[in-house]
Amino acid sequence: MVPGTFLLPIGLLVTGWTARASVHWIVPDITYIIDAFTLHGPSALAATNVFRSIVMGFGFPLFAPSMYNALDYGKGGTILACAAIAIWIPAPFLFWVYGERLQNASHYAKRST
């Protein structure tokens, strides 16, 4: 998960700066999340779906059209990459430090003996 947290903002930058007609379509497509988190692909996809459902499904339509009209795709993608850096890079370290406490607080988590 840790290497993937650094690859996600890179992928957002690549996608943002290559999402134009002059660049072949495969370039932005190579940044799929499953490629960033190869060993933990199912967990990464689950986390991505939760994040996408909350932020992209609700919040993104509120600001995205104005952001991309004002900044274009490259700069808009850079802003999203910076947000990913601020959110996703600390996440695995926080889970590393507080993960056991979170698991013990859950009534549904499996306890290791």
What digits encode the pLDDT tens for the residues 50-62? 876 776 678 878 8
From the list 104, 86, 92, 78, the residue with the least C-alpha distance to 11 is 78
Predicted local confidence at residue 11, as pLDDT: 78
Tokens of 37: 């988190």
From the list 81, 107, 109, 83, the residue with the least C-alpha distance to 95 is 109
Above pLDDT 90, what percent of the chain? 9
Cβ neighbors of 103 (< 8 A, separation 6 or more) are 109, 111
Cα distance between residue 65 and residue 6, in whole Å: 27
Q: Taking the model in full, what pTM does it have?
A: 0.47
